[in-house]
Chains A and B, each alone.
Chain A
Amino acid sequence: MIERIPELVNADPAIVRWGRDMNETFMIEVGDTQYLLTVRGGRVESVEKGPFVMRPWRFAIRAKRECWERFWQKVPAPGWSDLFGLLRRGDVVFEGDQRVLMAYLLYLKLVLAAPRRLS
């Protein structure tokens, strides 16, 4: 799912516009698997799969695989439709630079929900 994010996001100007000032690398953890996503001007330039050795990232969003799977359902069930819903229950953890995460929160929500289109 997550490997398909660049094609889903980059083809959708309605998502890209919200990240146009973003030039960052951030980590998404799906269970034990780490991914580094690099964004340039709102386009997701790359999704790299770990493990990584001493690679820097601005912030990390970590959740169990089953949480992401429920989050990525085409129509998620109540409680699974938004990152902050998972946050309230402790099903997702935000680490690193919270300022950048919050500055691009709308963009990140749209990017991370993009795989729902594949369900």
Chain B
Amino acid sequence: MTARLEPVTGRYAHIEIGGRPQRLYFEEAGQGIPLLCLHTAGSDGRQYRAVLNDPAITRHYRVIAFDMPWHGKSSPPAGWEKEEYRLTTESYIDQIMTVARELGLVRPVVMGCSIGGRIVLHLALAHARELRALVGLQSAAYVERYYDAAWLNHAEVHGGQVCGAIAYGLMSPLSPAADRWETVWHYMQGGPGIFTGDLHFYQGVGDVRDRIGAIDTSLCPLYMLTGEYDYSASPKDTEMAAARIRGAKVTIMKGLGHFPMSEHPEAFLGYLRPVLDEIRATTT
């Protein structure tokens, strides 16, 4: 065999989430502290391909990236054709904690981007004692609606193309073209209405502005890393949230946009490795 194989393994797990059987796809690499990675709205776990392939991280961490139900290679549950997909705060928290438990992850570090960066704030409120640390990428307490997400799921608009167009603009013009367009491709592959359904949480019910002051980082450290080119969860949005969370550690990532781990993996790893080193050195 001459093909270069990555040290990443992809598997399917049968897990019941919210009372419904799911065939869930996840990828993993490495050994050690579990690091559960949450992808952005309307995309999938491929966004974390560089983290999964980074020996400096996988030497100490068991990196796991799962595709949320309805996303990537995780099929929607039986009966999906009869319902509108809608992510809520409760269903999102439940799926993350269920996946962690069912995969046997003990006190994982949870890292999420965008909707994942939002849900880590909710996890900090609801499950701090069960988690070793939280890393929010493009993390903001709320983003108001500034366009109508109904157009992302409309019979007379190509969903793949318009979702790709939204993702394209959220990235930094300085990120490498190949990685930016791969990130667009993930968006173009999303199922109909899935990006919109995730934004129901992000631009609606996932608002956590009223409660973030209650986050206790002495129970679970919180790191917030935000790319400077993101206008959705902008550095200002992250800093506004962090200002109300005692002990939150903020890093503004130069030259990166809304999908740091996927649009410019090398630059992102330069910011992530020291955070993971610090978590390993300072938490148990």
Stretch of B115-123, B193-201, B224-232, B238-246 that contacts chain A: B224-232
With a cutoff of 8 Å between Cβ atoms, the chain A residues found around residue B161 in the complex are 18, 103, 105-106
Task: Choose among A75, A82, A85 the residue with the greatest number of B CB atoms under 10 Å from its CB.
Answer: A82
Contact with B along A12-44 (1 / 0, CB 8 A): 000000100000000000000000000000000
CB pair B165–A88 under 8 Å, yes or no, is no
Give A75's nearest chain B residue, CB to CB: B173
Cβ of A76 within 8 Å of any chain B Cβ, yes or no, is yes
The answer to whether A79 and B169 touch (CB under 8 A), given A84-B147, A106-B162, is: no
- Docked complex Cα distance between A105 and B29 (Å): 37
B174 engages A84 (CB within 8 Å): no
How far apart sit A19 and B237, CA to CA, in the bound complex (Å)?
Answer: 34
Q: How many residues of A contact B (CB 8 A)?
A: 20
Interface-central residue, B148, B151, B173, B232, by most chain A CB under 10 Å: B173
Contact of B228 among A75, A78, A84 (CB under 8 A): A78
Interface size on B, as a range, is 20 to 34
Interface string of A101-119 (1 = CB under 8 A from B): 0110110010000000000
Q: Mark A40-66, 1 if CB is under 8 A from B, else 0.
A: 000000000000000000000000000
Bound Cα distance A106, B154 (Å): 16
Secondary structure type dominating chain B contacts: loop
In the bound complex, do residue B164 and residue A106 qualify as a contact, i.e. CB atoms below 8 Å apart? Answer: yes
Do B173 and A99 touch across chains, with their CB atoms under 8 A apart?
no
| CB pair A105 B232 closer than 8 Å | no
Indicate if B275 sits at the interface (CB-CB under 8 A): no
| Also in contact, A82 and B162, with CB within 8 A (given A75-B174, A99-B154) | no
Chain A contacts for B235, CB-based, 8 A: 78
Residue of A nearest to B164 (CB): A106
For the complex, would chain A's binding face be called helix, strand, loop or mixed by DSSP majority? helix
Q: Give which listed residue, A75, A89, A109, contacts B165 with CB less than 8 A.
A: A109
- Bound Cα distance from A76 to B228, whole angstroms: 12
**In contact, B169 and A102 (Cβ under 8 angstroms):** no
B151 touches A84 (CB 8 A): no
Which residue of B146, B148, B162, B166 contacts A88 across the interface (Cβ within 8 Å)? B146
Q: Does B172 contact A (CB under 8 A)?
A: yes
Q: Is the CB of A88 within 8 A of B156?
A: no
Q: Bound state CA distance, A43 and B236, in angstroms?
A: 39
A83 interface hit (Cβ, 8 Å)? yes
Chain A residue at smallest Cβ distance from B146: A88
| B86 in contact (CB, < 8 A) | no
Contact A103 B162 (CB under 8 A): yes
Q: Mark B69-105, 1 if CB is under 8 A from A, else 0.
A: 0000000000000000000000000000000000000
B229 touches A81 (CB 8 A): yes
Are A105 and B166 CB-contacts (below 8 A) given A18-B161, A79-B234, A84-B146?
A: yes
| Given contacts A88-B232, A99-B154, A105 and B162 within 8 Å (CB-CB) | yes
**Docked-complex contact B231 and A99, CB < 8 angstroms:** no
B interface residues with partner A (beta carbon < 8 Å): 146-148, 151, 154, 156-158, 161-162, 164-166, 168-170, 172-174, 228-232, 234-235
Listed in ascending order, the chain A residues whose CB lies under 8 Å from chain B are 18, 75-76, 78-79, 81-85, 87-89, 98-99, 102-103, 105-106, 109
If A84-B166, A109-B169 are given as contacts, then 12 extra A-B residue pairs at C-beta distance below 8 Å, sorted by A number, are A76-B173, A79-B229, A81-B172, A81-B229, A82-B168, A83-B169, A103-B156, A103-B161, A106-B161, A106-B164, A109-B165, A109-B168
Please, could you name 24 A-B residue pairs with CB atoms under 8 Å apart, sorted by A?
A: A18-B161, A75-B173, A78-B231, A78-B234, A79-B229, A81-B173, A82-B168, A82-B170, A82-B231, A83-B169, A84-B231, A85-B169, A87-B146, A87-B147, A89-B231, A98-B151, A102-B157, A103-B162, A105-B161, A105-B166, A106-B161, A106-B164, A106-B168, A109-B169
